[in-house]
Amino acid sequence: MTLWCWTTQIPVKQAQSLTKLSEVSVRHWYEEFRHHLPQDQEVLDHLVQLDEAYFGGKSGRALLLGKQVGSRKLAYQLLPHTNVCREHAWWFVQTYVKPQTQLNTDGASIYHKIEDWWPVYHYRDIHKKWEFTNTSEIEGTFGNLRTFIRRMYHHVTVDKLEDLTMEFCFRFTHPEIFENPRYYLEKSLFIVPTR
């Protein structure tokens, strides 16, 4: 029942009522299920939107998130601080964005002349000028991430942020695995070799 609750995104408090388990137990099992998701980071191409967001205040974390437009492909990088600089953006683009891709970002200085560091076609939305056309999908994806965390887990601490971000990205990219508990088990269980 707990696995069914997790795969169908039943919030922790409601899962407690359904399973008659404590909040600590439900959170423990949700974490166990999350840790058995296959490791999966997408390489994005064609048309990509990239943005950053901040969680947890000054002592929190920064999250770089990229989305391939018109698809369900996501890639992310969580930094252990909130001081995002050009090197972080460059590393993300070099690692998760194929060359010759159109890259859309906001007007943040960390993306300035990014096309000189990696062969992409760079377009910028200046949010101060109310330009949001080229970054609308990634802005919406950040909204979906925050809603997912609030709805399912009610809150997140900075030490759990990476796990929940990974879960969100995996759910977003591979929704078919969460259609029922059996699909999840087929993708997450592996035979352990014996002697």
CA distance 103 to 34: 30
pLDDT in tens, 122-163: 999 887 888 778 888 999 999 999 999 999 999 888 888 999
Q: Is residue 114 predicted with pLDDT exceeding 80?
A: yes
Q: What is the pTM of this model?
A: 0.87
Query: What is the rounded distance in angstroms from the CA atom of residue 4 to the CA atom of residue 101?
Result: 39
Domain hosting 81: range is: 47-141
Q: Is residue 170 part of a domain?
A: no
Q: Given pLDDT bands bounded at 50, 70 and 90, which one contains residue 189?
A: confident
Residue 97: give its domain's CATH number.
3.30.420.10
67-109, pLDDT tens digit by residue? 999 999 999 999 999 899 999 999 999 999 999 999 999 988 9
d(CA 61, CA 169) in angstroms, rounded, equals 17
Residue 4 lies in a domain: no
Average pLDDT over residues 10-26: 95
pLDDT band at 191 (very low <50, low <70, confident <90, very high): low
pLDDT at residue 7 above 80? yes
Structural domains in the chain (count): 1
pLDDT of 192 over the 70 cut: no
